[in-house]
Structure 1
Amino acid sequence: MSAAKFDRAELESMLVGLRPKLHRYAARLAGSAIEGEDIVQEAVVKALAAHDGGALVERPEQWLFRIAHNAAQDHLRRRQRERSRTSEADMTAIADLSVSAETRLATAASLRSFMRLTPTQRSAVILVDVLGLSLHETCEVTSATLAAVKAALHRGRAELKALASAPDDVAVPRLDPEEERRLRRYIDLFNARDFDGVRRLIAEDVQVDVLNRTRLNGKKEASTYFGNYDRLGDWALSLGFVDGQPAILIRNPQAHDAVRGFMLIDWRGEEVMAIRDFRHVPYCVAEADICLLTD
């Protein structure tokens, strides 16, 4: 297949279809469903900008994964600037050990487990064992040699296998009392459908990001966001954690209170300055480490 420029509508359609897979890769690489969505959004913007700049693409799906991979690497570098980093020597040759048992192990591994691997190992295991790319496709996405990919895959699989047999001693996260008080007040007003009361908590310059839908700036625009929830009856809010962060869980009372999404709230004193609503990105919920905080 020769390099070609495909139209924007075709690219946008492809991005919609690939977004869950791109997020699965980014989330496991970053160790956070929330940060994974940040990476995907950055990758989408870069892909559209590259298209508008006249980019010629031979294999569109691998090209998009390459952009997501680079965005994830940039994100990790920004996050780890102040941390010491270790390098991993490449092995020159390792046989491809991909088998169904290893695929099942990688697919079931938690985000926390993947964070115990090096970034190189995470990329190789996720692309091959979770997303099903071939070794050569993984080389294309990561710009690594075949020997380096095989080395990272071998070591990553061995580490995941060891982690799977280790006891889970992760501590339950704790919530700051002031943060809990603010969040519970917000949740109580929301659940009571007292949206006038909710609006009184909102800053004039509030920013609302409904992921995969829209962005609203200012209190006036944000009113439409609350109006949409007021018209729906398939939700109830609860306090919890998502990837260790305090969050508001969106449960579905019509489906045995299954978590269908979550909200992240940023405060400025007693005012809400930003809302990120993950209701319309179900793949984030599927990848996230979610913990309900009981009363």
Structure 2
Amino acid sequence: MRPRLHRYCARIVGSAFDGEDVVQDALVRALEAWPVAGEIRQPQAWLMRIAHNAALDALRHRKRRGWLEPETAVDDLPDDAAAADTRVAAAASLAHFMHLSTIERAAVVLADVFGYSLAETSELLGLSVAAIKSALHRGRTRLKAVAQMPAEQRRAINEVDRERLGAYVDHFNARDFDTLRHLLSEEVRLDLVGRAQFVGRKDVSKYFARYEANAACRLALGHAEDRVVLLAIDASTSADVAYVIVLDWEGDRLARIRDFRYGTYVMEGLDWVSSTPRASR
């Protein structure tokens, strides 16, 4: 379910990276709720509801638009999405979904991306079927209009980030991992997405051992979600970009590493551009 949950959460919060944080939060909530939840007859729907609530909490935390009921419910709209609506939703970027209100986003993703029926979408979101119809109608109309708009201009990339990540790439590709270990802060966090988490310089320092043993893996600079990221290319498995690594800094020290080696499903919804002429999307 994890890739499916991420596909939903990323579209609700408008970010592949933030969507993964929401998935982790949702899974923690599910583990905490499990002992007292009783019999769970529909585990996928149960997890989806938890993920939906976690995504809404993330939006509220970011002071974005909260959960809104439609002003009017439309009863006479068609029940099923046309094939064209489904194709538009499936191809839409995460940024496109952010032009919809939260309820429109949720309804379109559940109905047109995941294929839930009106009744199932209504149950998952706790809204009437009429309200779902209304949200779908508005959301589909808006998404089609947004999809036809010119691509939005990317925000300027922080040159400091570009320079220090460029230096990181140079040291990595030269297999100079001792220099990279020196960059770690004392309380650095490592998230091997979908696999494990570590905290503290001593434990996180071991992270580089796997890459030391894999000479076929190299990094390149890229842009995704208006930030500089690391693109991992492993010649032993693929000539194209396999996954991304995201670094967060405190001053000149590494505060957090998010390595998506085991979470490649994030690439599905991520618009990234390589700094090299090839392998851009």
Deviations for 1:27-81, whole angstroms, at most 9, x for unmatched residues?
0111110111111111111111111234332322111111111111111111126
Counterpart Cα distance in 2 of 1:35 and 1:291: 18
Q: How does 1:17-166 map to 2 (within 5 A)?
A: 18-80=1-63, 88-93=70-75, 94-166=77-149
Q: Unaligned stretches of 5+ in structure 1?
A: 1-17
List 4+ stretches of structure 1 deviating above 4 A: 83-87
Counterpart Cα distance in 2 of 1:211 and 1:86: 32
Residue 251 of structure 1 and its aligned partner are, at CA, apart by 2.1
**SS across alignment from 1:216:** strand
Deviations for 1:67-100, whole angstroms, at most 9, x for unmatched residues?
111111111111126x799864132412214122
Deviations for 1:213-261, whole angstroms, at most 9, x for unmatched residues?
1111222211221001111244211112222222111123346642211
Counterpart Cα distance in 2 of 1:91 and 1:85: 16
Q: CA contact under 8 A between 1:121 and 1:153: conserved in structure 2? A: yes
Percent identity for Structure 1 against Structure 2 = 41
Q: CA contact under 8 A between 2:56 and 2:66: conserved in structure 1? A: no
Of the structure 1 ranges 84-93 and 51-60, higher mean CA displacement relative to structure 2 is found in 84-93
Q: CA contact under 8 A between 1:97 and 1:154: conserved in structure 2? A: no
Q: CA contact under 8 A between 2:158 and 2:227: conserved in structure 1? A: no
TM-score norm. by structure 1 comes to: 0.87
In the alignment, residue 140 of structure 1 is paired with which amino acid?
Answer: E
In the alignment, residue 265 of structure 2 is paired with which amino acid?
Answer: Y
**SS across alignment from 1:174:** coil
Deviations for 1:263-288, whole angstroms, at most 9, x for unmatched residues?
12122222212211112111101111
Aligned residue-pair number: 276
**SS across alignment from 1:98:** coil
Of the structure 1 ranges 246-255 and 127-136, higher mean CA displacement relative to structure 2 is found in 246-255
Q: Unaligned stretches of 5+ in structure 2?
A: none
In the alignment, residue 142 of structure 1 is paired with which amino acid?
Answer: L
Residue 294 of structure 1 and its aligned partner are, at CA, apart by 4.3
Q: CA contact under 8 A between 1:250 and 1:260: conserved in structure 2? A: yes
RMSD: 2.0
